[in-house]
Amino acid sequence: MSDLYLCSDMTLIEKNTLIVKSVAHELGFDYCGISKAEKLNEDEVRLANFLNKGYNGSLGYLENHFDKRVDPTKLVPGAKSVISLLTNYYPEQKQRTDAPQVAKYAYGQDYHDVIWNKLKKFLQALNEKIGEVNGRGFTDSAPVLEKSWAERAGLGWVGKNGLLITKQSGSFFFIAELITDIELKPDNPFVKDYCGTCTRCIDACPTEAILPDKVIEARKCISYFTIELKDMLIPDEMKGKFDNRMFGCDICQDVCPWNRFSTPHHTEEFTPINEILDYSKKDWDELTEESFKVIFKKSPLKRAKYQGIKRNLKFLD
DSSP 200-227: HHHHH-TT--EETTTEE-GGG-HHIIII
Q: At what angle do helices 111-129 and 12-26 cross, to 10 degrees?
A: 140
C-alpha–C-alpha distance, residues 144 and 69, integer Å: 5
C-alpha–C-alpha distance, residues 123 and 141, integer Å: 17
Is there a catalytic annotation at residue 236? Answer: no
Q: Dump pLDDT digits (tens) for 277-289.
A: 999 999 999 999 9
Q: Dump pLDDT digits (tens) for 298-314.
A: 999 999 999 999 999 99
- Number of domains composing the chain: 1
Task: State the amino acid at position 83 in one-letter form.
Answer: I
Q: Exposed e or buried b for every residue in 170-193, given b needs 16+ CB within 10 A?
A: bbbbbbbbbbbbbebbbbeebeee
Model-wide pTM > 0.85: yes
Q: Considering the candidates 140, 278, 283, 285, report the single residue annotated as catalytic.
A: 140
Task: Give the model's pLDDT for residue 13.
Answer: 95
C-alpha–C-alpha distance, residues 273 and 295, integer Å: 8
Domain of 229, in residue numbers: 1-317
Task: Give the model's pLDDT for residue 3.
Answer: 47
Q: Using 50, 70 and 90 to split pLDDT, how confident is the model at 57? A: low
